[in-house]
């Protein structure tokens, strides 16, 4: 991987969990910074070294209809002076995610946050966003995308808590019947308690998929973790299998 986060596979950029910098045992803030910087540098590299070639779409194609619909929607935003601005939306998302999707989590609060996030996204879809100047369009598009993304994350958190996951990685799940965090850490005069991790869930992965027909827009499912490969061949025979193409037929 080079300094622009491009992998040895041309035109493929590896960021976050795929790069090994995220995950349940990630190294805290440095993982977040790595993902943010990686995304920015990859985007810059793509924008400056791989300009889009003009594309010709057939008339009345599905892609043409989607583009025309998007242009129509964004054009309508420029006329909307009573809707929320992109900055207002981003601030609301940041406040909500910091309070309910960060290192302290609680089921009732997470459910309320999910309902609020859904309400915000549906308001954007029905009312649009306010553009006070042309360059506000970039912030507005980003706000719309993050509004939907926040719904996805909160839905995943609610479903994970509902499965009895408990505290895991960098987040702590509060529970009145849990273990005391520390006698000096109080809320309403009582020691805060947390629910320990349900280690049995380490054998599963939660998947989430956009499902616009559902009320909360996303569907979650739990799948088993794929087993680790058991092949322990020494380098020489493994290299020979690769050279002779046998790795593709096994």
Quickly list DSSP for 85-106.
BHHHHHHHHHHHHHHHSSSEE-
Is 166 domain-assigned?
no
Name beta bridge partners: 219. Answer: 209
Beta-strand pair 172-180/104-105: parallel
Establish if 198 belongs to a structural domain.
no
Q: Which domain holds residue 27?
A: 1-51
Confidence tier at 237 by pLDDT (50, 70, 90): confident
Q: What is the pTM of this model?
A: 0.76
CA 43 vs CA 8, 29, 35: distances in Å: 17, 21, 12
The least confident of 133-147, 201-215, 234-248 is 234-248
Rounded to the nearest integer, the mean pLDDT of the chain is: 88
pLDDT tens digits for 8-19? 888 889 887 777
12 falls within a domain:
yes
Quick check: 198 pLDDT over 90? yes
Residue 26 is predicted with a pLDDT of 67
Residue 171, domain member (yes or no): no
- Residue 192 pLDDT exceeds 70: yes
Q: Is 158 exposed, middle or buried (0-12, 13-18, 19+ CB in 10 A)?
A: buried
What is the distance between the alpha carbons of residues 133 and 127, in angstroms, rounded to a whole number? 18
Is residue 201 a part of any domain in this protein?
Answer: no
Q: How far apart are CA 37 and CA 28, in angstroms?
A: 15
- Cα-based distances in Å from 61 to 1, 52, 70, 71, 72: 38, 20, 14, 16, 17
pLDDT in tens, 39-54: 998 998 888 887 666 6
Domain membership of residue 92 (yes or no) is: no
E-strand ranges in the chain read 104-105, 172-180, 186-187, 190-191, 193-194, 204-210, 218-224
Is 165:122 a contact under the CB 8 Å cutoff? no
Domain tally, the chain: 1
- Grouping H, G, I as helix, E, B as strand and the rest as coil, residue 174 is strand
Whether residue 43 is contained in a domain is answered as: yes
Q: Does residue 174 belong to any structural domain of this protein?
A: no
Q: Are 87 and 144 in contact (CB under 8 A)?
A: no
Residues 6+ apart with CB under 8 A from 175: 193, 194, 195
């Amino acid at each position: 991987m080079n300094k622009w986060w491009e992998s040895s596979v041309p035109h493929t950029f590896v960021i976050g969990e795929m790069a090994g910098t995220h995950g349940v045992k990630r190294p805290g803030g440095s993982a977040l910074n790595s993902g943010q910087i990686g995304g920015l540098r990859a985007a810059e590299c793509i924008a400056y070294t791989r300009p889009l070639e003009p594309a010709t779409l057939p008339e009345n194609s599905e892609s043409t209809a989607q583009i025309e619909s998007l242009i129509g929607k964004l054009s309508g935003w420029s006329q909307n002076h009573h809707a929320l601005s992109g900055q207002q939306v981003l601030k609301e998302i940041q406040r909500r995610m910091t309070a309910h999707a960060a290192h302290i989590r609680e089921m009732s609060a997470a459910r309320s946050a999910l309902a609020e996030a859904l309400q915000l996204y549906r308001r954007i879809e029905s009312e649009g966003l306010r553009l006070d100047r042309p360059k506000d369009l970039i912030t507005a598009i980003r706000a719309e995308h993050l509004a939907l993304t926040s719904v996805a994350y909160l839905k995943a958190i609610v479903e994970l808590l509902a499965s009895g996951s408990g505290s895991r990685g960098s987040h702590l799940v509060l529970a009145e019947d849990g273990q005391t965090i520390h006698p000096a850490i109080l809320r309403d005069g009582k020691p805060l308690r947390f629910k320990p991790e349900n280690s049995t869930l380490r054998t599963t992965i939660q998947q989430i998929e956009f499902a616009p027909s559902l009320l909360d827009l996303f569907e979650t499912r739990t799948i088993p973790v794929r087993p680790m490969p058991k092949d322990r061949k020494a380098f020489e025979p493994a290299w020979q299998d690769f050279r002779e193409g046998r790795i593709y037929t096994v």
